[in-house]
Structure 1
């Protein structure tokens, strides 16, 4: 694939990085808005009673579908990466994927079993085309600036979680409070905006991500030959990638409880009804938590406009329009909640905490990874797994004495603390994993290997659904605290193992930092 051999991509600067990175930032933001908005609603919609507009599925069945879906959206990137590398190019793969996901969300808004499965099918296909090729564009763009990759992926990850934050908050709120259909439909609307914004601004990437031609394929082969990396080094680095990938299975199997068992915990076992002063304080906090991050993202948007509006006016106008709509929905939500007497915190609300903490802490982690105090990749993974385990420790402690038939509901503090530590762990693993794949894998394998990496994440997601579906069984036989303690012990244990493997991993990476 032809690469951008000049430095034009780096001439326009936004917050220390090329403006093109933030085009990807906002495109990915809307895709994550749609994905996490739907993810926040799916299990609650399926398990809610008929009277509440749901389908009254069992928790086990709902989480089985959830696990299959979240696994599948990470399996298809292998095919999407291959198609982009060989035929479509990264840009068209992203555009086709975004369009397929738009159709998927629209189908789910119909709320019939047939259209539910049709919608999930479109989402799986679309994600396979979209997911690996966004990260591949970054990999090629920063090919000559490897020292900035960890920071770039961390900022990109901030965009991922800005979208997740807005999607969970707005789709979740509208789905629970107004209509499931409107919640699912809103996800599709902003996926469509993301597709249009990317399409009309794509020239900012120069030659990066174009449809491969005979000449570009030949150039890639020549470049691979010119790299002349000894076969044993290529082999060792691939082994390192596979080891990182195996550890991501354990991470996502635990982390993705957020969309399953932790949502059930929030719905059934957490005190969410607030009145009087408590309700008023929550409304103020919720309004601030909603508006301040949106102001931060809007600030980034304005900085991008200053660099790109003259050349890419239409793409910027589409992006601005989507933000005007978002601001309108946010202000409507805040006003509606302020006027209500008392409040019931939506079970989906807790999901925004992960994204909020990402937006708050990602810049600091980005600076950390670029400083002299930077940790090695294996140490980051080990730290991340340990922090994840500590987060489950809060839930294990907070849920002591709770069982499926218990009328006692626990403080929201335990979920908030869990999400904080899970987020800190995620920042040590998820964006860093993407960065290391891009640095360890030969250039001609980038798209496919990102797909393979996502394949392992998919395995973790399926295990997450299966494990989450056991929450009632384990809670009945033992206790709810036991269920969360399993994740605490396993996560910390896996973290310690990765730390112990650090010398071996450094040897396998052959100088890649």
Structure 2
């Protein structure tokens, strides 16, 4: 990749970053829309009664499938990164991955066991091709601007969570209130939109992410040789990446309770039926929470249009049509809720809080990481794990007195507080982890090492499913508070260990900040 390519990429900025970053922003937004929209529904659909259109699975079985699925979507990026590095190029890997995921969501909408497993298979394959190579494009684009990477990944992560917010809100609402099939199917529609938008706008990246050729492979080798990094420094930095990766297992094993035990807590033990003034206030708040973030994202879209529409009209038209559809669904949803005589907060609704808080706090964290008050990577990880544990502390306290056969329903405050602290912790770990992998790993290994990093995240996701499936057993033997205390103590302990390891990590990173 030449200096001219990155210089060209940094022309025509949008909100202080290259316009190309926001093409990735919106592509990833639609992919996360589909992923989190489906994730919000999966466990609820499987465990709901036959009368409600579900399959009446046990929580343990549903969580086992959930854990296996979320683990697998993080394991396959190792293969996807390798294929892109050696054969496909990052761009074609993204396109093919998005197409496979579209087919996966379409299959799940059929609602039969065979098509459920076919759909999950397509999603696993598609995610493996898509996920590591989107981040690899950013890494290559910012190769000559390492000081901007933390901010770039934080902005990109805002797009990730904008998609998660919309996906959980709309797919979750339609799945619970209208039809499971419509909820699963909607996820596929916008995955297709994301793929087409990326395909027709990809020239904005210059030669970044093209299929590798003999010449480009030689250029990568020459670049690696030109870096002239001693072998022991490379070894130390790889060790640092592996340590970061191990601690992400602790983070995601707890954080991913959002799609399992926390959703079950919302459905069974949270007071979601509202009356009188409370119902009216919720309808107003829900409308604002739905519309205001969408206005912000639409503003970003308009800024992108001003820089890119003339040159990339087709991709921008596809993106604008998808937003018209989204606005139509949002207006329908708000109108339907205002016309309803009863107000019951969907169990999936709480999942939007994480994404909403991300959209709200990501710009501030991006500025923080670029300021003189920036923390080191290990300190960010330690802080993130501690905040995550504190979030579960709210659930542990709020669930006091709840037993397996309890009919007690507690305030929504405890879930809201938990999601806030989980989000603050996530902002310290998830986008920062991606940035540090890209800065610590030699350029020729980027795709594969992103895949390895995601492999560790996959381990955390599998643990999340296995541990979350124990909620009924632990609650029956002890209490629900005991269950959530496990997720309070373990992340805080891991966070303190990482903080203590900070001096060692700085030595291993050899000046990378």
Q: Quickly name the TM-score band, shorter chain normalised.
A: over 0.9
- Residue 167 of structure 2 is aligned to residue 174 of structure 1: no
**In 1, are the aligned partners of 2:155 and 2:366 still within 8 Å (CA)?**
yes
Could you report, residue by residue, the CA deviation over 1:383-421 in whole angstroms, capped at 9, with x for unpaired residues? Answer: 000000000000000000001211110000000000000
The CA distance in 2 between the partners of 1:141 and 1:429, in whole Å, is 22
**In 2, are the aligned partners of 1:4 and 1:206 still within 8 Å (CA)?**
no
Match of 1:57 in 2: 57
1:227: Cα distance to partner? 1.1
Superposition misfits of 4+ residues, deviation over 2 angstroms: 1-6
The CA distance in 1 between the partners of 2:462 and 2:490, in whole Å, is 17
Question: Aligned runs of 1:52-451 on 2, under 5 Å?
Answer: 52-451=52-451
**In 2, are the aligned partners of 1:275 and 1:341 still within 8 Å (CA)?**
no
The CA distance in 2 between the partners of 1:259 and 1:203, in whole Å, is 36
The CA distance in 2 between the partners of 1:298 and 1:485, in whole Å, is 40
1:363: Cα distance to partner? 0.1
Q: 1:436 to 1:76 in 2, by over 3 A?
A: same
The CA distance in 2 between the partners of 1:215 and 1:406, in whole Å, is 67
The CA distance in 1 between the partners of 2:12 and 2:25, in whole Å, is 15
**In 2, are the aligned partners of 1:39 and 1:259 still within 8 Å (CA)?**
yes
1:490 partner SS:
helix
**In 1, are the aligned partners of 2:29 and 2:159 still within 8 Å (CA)?**
yes
1:222: Cα distance to partner? 1.2
**In 1, are the aligned partners of 2:6 and 2:142 still within 8 Å (CA)?**
no
1:226: Cα distance to partner? 1.3
The CA distance in 2 between the partners of 1:360 and 1:4, in whole Å, is 35
Could you report, residue by residue, the CA deviation over 1:440-472 in whole angstroms, capped at 9, with x for unpaired residues? Answer: 000000000000000000000000000000000
Match of 1:16 in 2: 16
The CA distance in 2 between the partners of 1:134 and 1:461, in whole Å, is 21
1:316: Cα distance to partner? 0.2
- Residue 475 of structure 2 is aligned to residue 475 of structure 1: yes
The CA distance in 2 between the partners of 1:440 and 1:293, in whole Å, is 34
The CA distance in 1 between the partners of 2:139 and 2:508, in whole Å, is 21
1:4: Cα distance to partner? 5.7
The CA distance in 2 between the partners of 1:112 and 1:334, in whole Å, is 31
1:6: Cα distance to partner? 4.7
The CA distance in 1 between the partners of 2:284 and 2:137, in whole Å, is 40
Q: 1:61 to 1:316 in 2, by over 3 A?
A: same
The CA distance in 2 between the partners of 1:163 and 1:448, in whole Å, is 26
Q: 1:4 to 1:67 in 2, by over 3 A?
A: farther
1:347: Cα distance to partner? 0.2
Could you report, residue by residue, the CA deviation over 1:448-507 in whole angstroms, capped at 9, with x for unpaired residues? Answer: 000000000000000000000000000000000000001101111100000000000000
The CA distance in 1 between the partners of 2:2 and 2:305, in whole Å, is 28
1:5: Cα distance to partner? 3.9
1:342: Cα distance to partner? 2.2
**In 2, are the aligned partners of 1:142 and 1:148 still within 8 Å (CA)?**
yes
The CA distance in 2 between the partners of 1:71 and 1:376, in whole Å, is 29
- Structure 2: segments with no counterpart, 5+ residues: none
- Structure 1: segments with no counterpart, 5+ residues: none
TM-score by length of 2: 0.99
The CA distance in 2 between the partners of 1:13 and 1:186, in whole Å, is 32
Calculate the aligned-residue CA RMSD, in Å.
Answer: 0.7
The CA distance in 1 between the partners of 2:207 and 2:224, in whole Å, is 18
**In 2, are the aligned partners of 1:381 and 1:495 still within 8 Å (CA)?**
yes
The CA distance in 2 between the partners of 1:424 and 1:54, in whole Å, is 34
The CA distance in 1 between the partners of 2:176 and 2:6, in whole Å, is 50
**In 1, are the aligned partners of 2:6 and 2:141 still within 8 Å (CA)?**
no
2:428 partner SS:
helix
